[in-house]
Amino acid sequence: MRRPVSDFPGGLHLPGHKKRSTQTPIRKTPLSKQLILPLQQHIGEAAMPIVAVGDTVLKGQRIARADGHVSVCLHAPSSGTITAIEERPIPHPSGLSAPCIILETDGEETWIERHPIRDFLQHSAHELRQLIRDAGIVGLGGAGFPSFIKLNPGIHHHVDTLLINGAECEPYITCDAMLMRERAEGVLDGIEIMRHALSARDVLIAIEDNKPEAITAMQLALGSRQSLADADIVVVPTRYPTGGEKQLIQVVTGKEVPSHGLPIDIGVVCHNPATAYAIGRAVIHGEPLISRIVTVTGTDVTHAGNFETLFGTPIKALLEYCQTRRQPDEPFIQGGPMMGYSLAGDELPVTKTANCILVGVDEAAQTSEPLPCIRCGDCASVCPASLLPQQLYWHARAKEFDQTRDYKLFDCIECGCCDYVCPSKIPLVSYFRFAKTEIMNQERERNKADHARERYESRLARQERERLEKEQRQAQRKAALAASKKAAAAKADRQEAPVPPAKKPDIAKEGQ
């Protein structure tokens, strides 16, 4: 019997386009001669290189350490030689460059010595979190947040529910569905480890009802695993964006994450199936995160499918392997058609957040010039966060950022529903991203200014304190000197004072 589910406001029923990439099993892409490894592949501080040009490395060897609290390590996806550490273009909408480690592979695929942990229950949550951090694991659903942080709820929170987000609601993307279909046992390995680290009471695995093969595979695997006998698979209706973290929590648990709040505030921690699989490989098999499954699909892809790809593999090599009709300068999308972003160059590498490469879409692209807003309100009717996109648009366009905050700009999950239905083809999400970026820049500048002012005021206070201390010391020395002079003068006076003559005895009185 299906578990009852709740609902969330707004949303869209979109064509899935899932079949194109689910007709063949997951395949491994050929080893590339050169791997380009950006040091920044996750949210937080970039990793710090610990290798030099000319070093030989083994597959799985750590080549960059975590630098800062919100950071994870980076590992060599294959054996070979480090040939450069330099700026290279990275997958980003702005086309910016960032430091990368360049690895020339030797074709040997020689692993480091691995240290698998079979009985992870003998290890504390802290030890497992550290291992997961050292293994370089981040959320593989696309956000790239370091996983060890989400596995640390803190002493003030209790985790009621570990929720596995297998909804994968965006059109075209099928990497999570294929992973659950073919490697369900591995996903459950990671779920067990995460449950132990979180001390979670319940485990729920949510999958959209348009993925019957994944649901069956997970049910079969779960049925034979006694240690997860109380876990439950929740089949949720197919509707975009059910896979949004807040929306899925509302559908599965009926609880609503508060505005500006986090799922842990209501006792829920949410992870992606691919993240769970990576954690299982790291702990039970001793393998750091060096690859991921990438969906390559779209109308211009001849052999669409899902491919286990080493990080650093040039996207060009991946597209050539799949055979596309893409022209050299034709842009493509990393991610899905709703939340992904366009990239111009295919020399960019596959990174930890690359869940899908989309070349050509069936829907007519929104390339026409935007028209004036007609205040139809369609954007508000589909917003899953119950926002007023039209008002946000006007304030963001006028750079009235305080007003955008009042209209809960940061509750926007940038799902693109408002863009999709806007009859005027206004790129609303682009305005929201612009406003968020500007607000964050302003806050960063304000923090820098506050910090500089605090340093200046602290310097003035220190100088004043030193001046007063100096004056006090001078006064003390002056007083001591005056006292010394006074004592010396008194002594001199006593030495120079005339001795009074001795008094002669009164003979007359003595004779009486």
List binding-site positions for [4Fe-4S] cluster.
373, 376, 379, 383, 412, 415, 418, 422
Alpha-helix residue ranges (DSSP H) falling in 323-369: none
Q: Give the pair of three-digit tokens for residue 326.
A: 């893409």
Binding residues: 373, 376, 379, 383, 412, 415, 418, 422
- CA distance linking residue 479 with residue 474, whole number of Å: 8
- CA distance linking residue 278 with residue 218, whole number of Å: 17
Beta strand spans in 335-485 (E)? 341-343, 356-358
- Sign for the CA dihedral angle at 457, 461, 464, 470 comes to negative
Cβ contact 347:326 at 8 Å: no
Q: Which of 220, 196, 201 is nearest to 161 (CA)?
A: 201
Place of tokens 């000319």: 54
Burial 390-419 (b: 16+ CB within 10 A, else e): bebbbbbeeeebebbeebebebbbbbbbbb
Q: Which of 439, 384, 338, 398 is nearest to 16 (CA)?
A: 338
Q: Give the pair of three-digit tokens for residue 348.
A: 């960019």
Secondary structure of 11-44 as H, E, C letters = CECCCCCCHHHCCCCCEECCCCCEEEEECCCCCC
DSSP assignment of 100-116, as one string? EEEEEE-S--PBPPP--
DSSP state letter for 255: -
Quick check: bond before 423 cis, omega within 30? no
CA distances in angstroms from 76 to 273, 291, 293, listed in the order given: 23, 10, 17
Q: Which of 307, 334, 335 is nearest to 323 (CA)?
A: 307
CA dihedral 415, 420, 425, 427 (to 10 degrees): 10
- CA distance linking residue 404 with residue 398, whole number of Å: 10
How far is residue 139 CA from its own chain's centroid?
Answer: 7
- CA distance linking residue 340 with residue 338, whole number of Å: 6
Task: Report how many helices (DSSP H) and strands (DSSP E) the chain contains, helices first.
Answer: 14, 17
How large is the greatest C-alpha to C-alpha distance in the chain, in angstroms? 151
Per DSSP bridges, beta strands 97-105 and 62-65 are unpaired
Q: Give the pair of three-digit tokens for residue 313.
A: 């593999």
